[in-house]
Amino acid sequence: MITRKLGTAGPLVSALGLGCMGMSDLYGPSDRAESIRTIHAALDAGVTLIDTGDFYGMGHNEMLIGEALKGRNRDAVQLSVKFGALRDPQGGFAGFDGRPAAVKNFLAYTLQRLGVDHIDIYRPARLDPNVPIEDTIGAIADLVQAGYVRGIGLSEVGSDTIRRAAKVHPIADLQIEYALITRGIEDDILPTCRDLGIGITAYGVLSRGLIGGHLSKPPAANDYRSHSPRFQGANLDANLALVEKLRTIADGLGASVAQIAIAWVLAQGDDIVPLIGARTVPRLQEALGALDVELTPAHLAALTTAMPRDAAMGTRYPDVQMAFLDSEK
C-alpha cells in the first residue's frame, strides 16, 4: 500500500482511506455483515485510515467500526472522526454544536462506542456559526494534551477559518469534497492548505456514485441522494452523459470509470488522500484498483476536457445544506 502524510502535523496513512458513512446511514438499507467484511478487507489490503462521524446512524457507525476492529492491532489503524452534527429521533439534522463542553462530551461517547482510548484525527464536521472556531479547536487541543486525541482536522471550512484554526493548534488535514466533477477548492482553499502544510482528505471522489460508472437511474426515495440537485431530472441526465465520456477514456486504459476518477484525485498531489465510500467488498476491490492506474499528462488533460470543471449540473448539496458550508462562502 502506498502511504501519504497528512500535512506536516498529521500521521502517515494509506493513500486511500475508507469512508464508512454509507454502512449506517443515508443510502438506504445496508448489510451489517458485509460492512464488517468490507472493513476487514480494507485493513487486510493495507488501508489504515478509517473515517466516520459520531452522527452517522446516530452512533451506529462507530459501534460498527468498533466491532470490526476487535482483535485488530489498534496502532495499525488511524481513526478519523467528525463530530458536532445534531440529529433528531426521525434521523433529521438539527444544527451543529461546537461549544467546548459539547466537544468533550461528544468525544467521551465516541471513545466508548469505538472501544478505543484515543482518536487519531478529531474534527468538527461543520463550522458552528455561534462559536468561534478558536474555541472549538482550543477544546480539541485540550484533549490532545490529555492524550485522548492525537491530531486535529477540519471539515468543509473556508480559508479564513482554516487560518484562524491553525493559529490555535497545528491542523493535520482538511476533509472536503474534491473530484473531477467538484473542483471548487482549487481556487483558494487548496492553496491555503498547501501554504500552511495542511493535508487534504477528499471525500465525494465519485460524487456519491454519480461518476462511479454504475449509476443508470435515479436513486430510490429512501436514498438521500434523491434530494440532491445533481441526481434529479435533467441534471442527472446531463451528468451521466459526462460519465460516458469518462467511460471512453477508462476503456482505453483497461480500467473502470470509478478507477480513473479516483486515480485523477490521487494524481492531484501527494498531500491528498481520497476517501472511498465502498459498502461492499467488490466495490472496495474496484476502488483499490485505482492505485494501479497510471495517468500520463495526456490522460489527465483528456479527463479534464471530458469533464470540464464547471460542467456539473446542480449543486453538490440541496440549498439548505449548502448554507451550512463555510467552504462555499
Residue 14 has what pLDDT?
98
Place of cell 482528505: 201
Domains of the chain: 3-216+258-294 (3.20.20.100)
DSSP notation for 19-82: E-GGGTSSSS---HHHHHHHHHHHHHTT--EEEEETTTTTTHHHHHHHHHHTTS-GGG-EEEEE
Query: What is the pLDDT confidence band of residue 67, given thresholds at 50, 70 and 90?
Result: very high
Report the chain's mean pLDDT, rounded to a whole number.
95
Place of cell 458536532: 84
Residues 6 or more apart whose Cβ sits within 8 Å of residue 315:
229, 230, 322
Residue 319 has what pLDDT?
86
303 close to 295: Cβ distance less than 8 angstroms: yes
Query: What is the pLDDT confidence band of residue 94, given thresholds at 50, 70 and 90?
Result: confident
Polymer length of the chain: 329
Query: What is the pLDDT confidence band of residue 49, given thresholds at 50, 70 and 90?
Result: very high
Cell triple for 280: 461492499
Tell me if the pTM is above 0.75: yes
Query: What is the pLDDT confidence band of residue 268, given thresholds at 50, 70 and 90?
Result: very high
Residue 323 has what pLDDT?
85
Distance, CA of 242 to chain centre: 23
Residue 26 has what pLDDT?
77
Distance, CA of 161 to chain centre: 19
Can 56 be counted among the known catalytic residues?
yes
Query: What is the pLDDT confidence band of residue 73, given thresholds at 50, 70 and 90?
Result: very high
Task: Express as a percent the part of the chain with pLDDT over 70.
Answer: 100
The catalytic residue among 27, 56, 122, 317 is 56
Task: Express as a percent the part of the chain with pLDDT over 90.
Answer: 87
Query: What is the pLDDT confidence band of residue 224, given thresholds at 50, 70 and 90?
Result: confident
Determine the Cα–Cα distance for residues 150 and 99; give it in Å rounded to an integer: 20
Residue 289 has what pLDDT?
97
Residue 222 has what pLDDT?
83
Determine the Cα–Cα distance for residues 87 and 78; give it in Å rounded to an integer: 26
pLDDT exceeds cutoff 80 at 318: yes
Q: Give the burial string for 205-241 (b: 16+ CB within 10 Å, else e).
A: bbbbbbbbbebeeebeeebbbeebbbbbeebbeebbe
Cell triple for 224: 438521500
pLDDT (tens digit per residue) in 160-197: 999 999 999 999 999 999 999 999 999 999 999 999 99
Query: What is the pLDDT confidence band of residue 54, given thresholds at 50, 70 and 90?
Result: very high
What is the mean predicted confidence (pLDDT) over 110-139?
98
Q: Within 10 Å of residue 313's Cβ, how many Cβ atoms?
A: 17
Residue 291 has what pLDDT?
97
